[in-house]
Structure 1
Amino acid sequence: MNGASGAHRGAAVPGARRRPGRWLWWAIVAVGYVAAFSLLSAALAAGMPLSVAYGVWAAAGVALTAMLSAVFFKESLTWLMGLGLALVMGGVLLIEAGGH
């Protein structure tokens, strides 16, 4: 029960604008996971070394999560976080260079 009005949780409120349901966010996450694993598999099948493919995959996940959380959830993205992302990407490049 919602204290003051006594309305049940989730009940329609006249004139209220309906927001996308949780199912939409779940669908976006599911599509993202399928795409991420499919692209990782394709990179490995094309002959990319596992250490490089996984490094790029993980670094991209960290970088995209940080950037998208700043856009969608208004979280801060400081210069120190940017430096951390650059170091992660630099580490992946060093692994790639060390493999040749």
Structure 2
Amino acid sequence: MNPYVLLAAAIAAEVTGTVSLKYAEGFTKPLPSAVVVVAYGTAFYLLSRILGAGLPVGVVYAVWSAAGVALVALIGALFLGERMNLTMVAGLVLVIGGVVLLELGGER
């Protein structure tokens, strides 16, 4: 399977796990806690497959973490009532820009 498709799935799993942490309430709620464990396990399994396919670990981790940060921040702002201001948006843009530069630098 295409490693970039696996990376998108790993990002989705990580975001699912992170959002579920909010509902797990310190792992006292069984269903959200199980979602956290399964989602993170899936994310790390997929990351291992991606790295096994030969993609560089620095680029993979940068894309995975930056996309996760951006998506969780967006979900928090849109669905969880968390605040988002222009400074935070600028920070997300800088994180994503850094990942783009890493990706471009790796193509030489």
TM-score bracket, shorter-length normalisation: 0.5 to 0.7
Mapped to 1, the partners of 2:54 and 2:86 lie a distance apart of 35
Q: Which has the higher contact order (CA 8 A, sep 6+)?
A: 2
1:32 lines up with 2:76 in the alignment = no
Report sequence identity in percent: 50
Instruction: State the TM-score, normalized to the length of structure 2.
Output: 0.63
Which structure features the higher share of helix residues? Answer: 2
Output one character per residue of 1:44-66: Cα deviation in whole Å (capped at 9) or x when no partner. 11211111001011112211221
1:77 lines up with 2:84 in the alignment = yes
State the 1:85 CA deviation: 1.1
- Aligned residue identity for 1:76: R
Instruction: State the TM-score, normalized to the length of structure 1.
Output: 0.68
For the residue of structure 2 that corresponds to 1:76, the secondary structure is coil
- Root-mean-square deviation over aligned CA pairs: 1.8
4+ long deviations beyond 3 Å? none
